[in-house]
Amino acid sequence: MATASAPESSLLSLLYRSYPTVISPDATELDLAHATPKIFSQNSYTEAEQADAKQWLEAVRGLTAGLAKDDKQVVDTILGTFNTHLSTRTTFLGAKPSVADIAAYAVIGPLVEKWTPEERTGEKGYHYIVRHIDFVQNGSVFGLRIPDEEKISIDLDDVRFVPKPADPKEEKERKKKEKAEAIAAGQEKTMVVGQTKGNKVNDPVHEAPTTTTEEAPAASKKDKQKKEKKEKKEKAPKPPPAPAAPPSPSLIDLRVGHILRAINHPNADSLFVSTIDCGDALGSDNTSVDEATGKTVRTVCSGLNGLVPLEEMQNRKVVVVCNLKPVTMRGIKSAAMVLAASPKVAEGEDSHGGPVELATPPADAAAGERVFFEGWSSGEPEKQLNPKKKVWETFQPGFTTTDSLEVAFESAQIPVLQGAEATAAAPAVGKLVTQAGGVCTVKSLKGAAVR
């Protein structure tokens, strides 16, 4: 890797090579503190953001000095600060790129290159630093000109430990609670075992009854008669299979979800990991208890990183699909999907370039409240959609937004519904509404695809 020997000179070389129209190749030194707005002119930076970028640059310089002095304590402290900060942010400034990110790449990159897989993504590894390094060297938002042979080799699928999306205080309380429960369970087990042992061995009242040789054959004959009688009894006929539910988008379990918090996925720079209250009952499949609030929640991975600011994913209402089969995404199990709108594209084109807007229910809608399309409210959603039947794939092409920015379902887009009796009674375009009658909307996208 080119940055391994001299981070400062390598950083200047990287900036010259990547941004030739901004950085003069004749310059011998660079004012990094004021370089961010010049290099990333497509973004606007507040004074506070520029001050933050300067502060992170100072931290990078501190790390460089610590490495030069081989001061392990300083190095570990700064790396720990970086890792914690990046656990809830895509870049040092949140979502916007800065020279601080590139400077950190130049200094930390050679370290990551030498780290073992355990040091990278083990239980005490620097997951978020590794993700950040991969994002900086490959992300189009930075546009760094780094030859493939000079890039740091990072296997995003080699994850040794998946950190829980919770803060250290919550994790400490969880472990304390589990330890107390384990101790209590151990005491209860000891009491039960002791009682059973006493009943069988020491307590004559509970001694096993004896059987005489004359009684045994009689008992055996009686048991045989009961068994023969049971075998001769006719088996009850199986009930006929339930009739198949008519084709309808109501088979999809759409609900109001409340995102309690969201963080960057530790092993994928395109994903967010959200903790969402979907109104599930305690102990429901694919749920857990959020220790901070005591609510039953689902963990949901969404490919929205870089398309929706992370701050827009905090403490907000969304529409979630709750009966898709859970999938594991880079080591984290995702148990629902967040609905979002994006412009429709021609077949075969990339549909993930943005812009993207979240489908938003009314502010007063309760988490878990059912959401359905007008004219398609009859019938209950399936507990879990069978992937082989492709229910979601069948009806999703009808999910759209209107000129009034309402999320809706256009039945004319779904071939299986053409000529169906249910379609005749439903409106051509049914709005996505809550049980209370509120309409789900988007910010500005008209005629968009919703998925």
pLDDT digits (tens, 9 = 90+) for 336-360: 999 999 998 766 554 556 799 999 9
State pLDDT tens for residues 264-301: 999 999 999 999 999 999 989 999 999 889 999 999 99
**Average pLDDT for residues 95-120, to the nearest whole number?**
94
Split at pLDDT 50, 70, 90, the class of 15 is confident
Say if 7-150 and 249-450 have the same CATH topology: no
Topology of domain 249-450, CATH: OB fold (Dihydrolipoamide Acetyltransferase, E2P) (2.40.50)
Q: What angle do CA 335, 92, 340 make, to 5 degrees?
A: 35
pLDDT of res. 32: 81
Q: Which residue has the tokens 């780094």?
A: 146
Indicate whether 4 pLDDT > 70.
no
State pLDDT tens for residues 294-327: 999 999 999 999 999 999 999 999 999 999 999 9
State if pTM tops 0.75: no
pLDDT of res. 353: 64
pLDDT of res. 229: 58
pLDDT of res. 183: 66
pLDDT of res. 309: 93
pLDDT of res. 351: 53
**Average pLDDT for residues 194-203, to the nearest whole number?**
42
Per-domain residue ranges of the chain = 7-150, 163-191, 249-450
State the distance between the two ends of the chain, measured CA to CA, in whole angstroms: 41
Split at pLDDT 50, 70, 90, the class of 243 is low
Measured in whole angstroms, the distance separating CA 403 from the mean position of its chain's CA atoms is 31
Measured in whole angstroms, the distance separating CA 386 from the mean position of its chain's CA atoms is 21
Q: What percent of the chain has pLDDT over 70?
A: 76
AA identity, residue 412: A
pLDDT of res. 207: 42
State pLDDT tens for residues 364-379: 999 999 999 999 988 8
Three-state DSSP class for residue 342? strand
Least confident among 123-132, 179-188, 298-307, 329-338: 179-188
CB neighbour list of residue 379: distance below 8 Å, 6 or more residues apart: 245, 246, 248, 250, 251
Indicate whether 129 pLDDT > 90.
yes
**Average pLDDT for residues 380-409, to the nearest whole number?**
95
Indicate whether 394 pLDDT > 80.
yes
Average pLDDT of the residues of the chain = 83
Task: Name the phi and psi angles at 213, rounded to 5.
Answer: -65, -25
Residue 223: how many other CB atoms lie within 10 Å: 10
pLDDT of res. 281: 92
CATH class (in words) of the domain with range 7-150: mainly alpha
Q: Which residues pair with 373 in a beta bridge?
A: 432
Indicate whether 440 pLDDT > 50.
yes
Helix H or strand E segment including 382: none
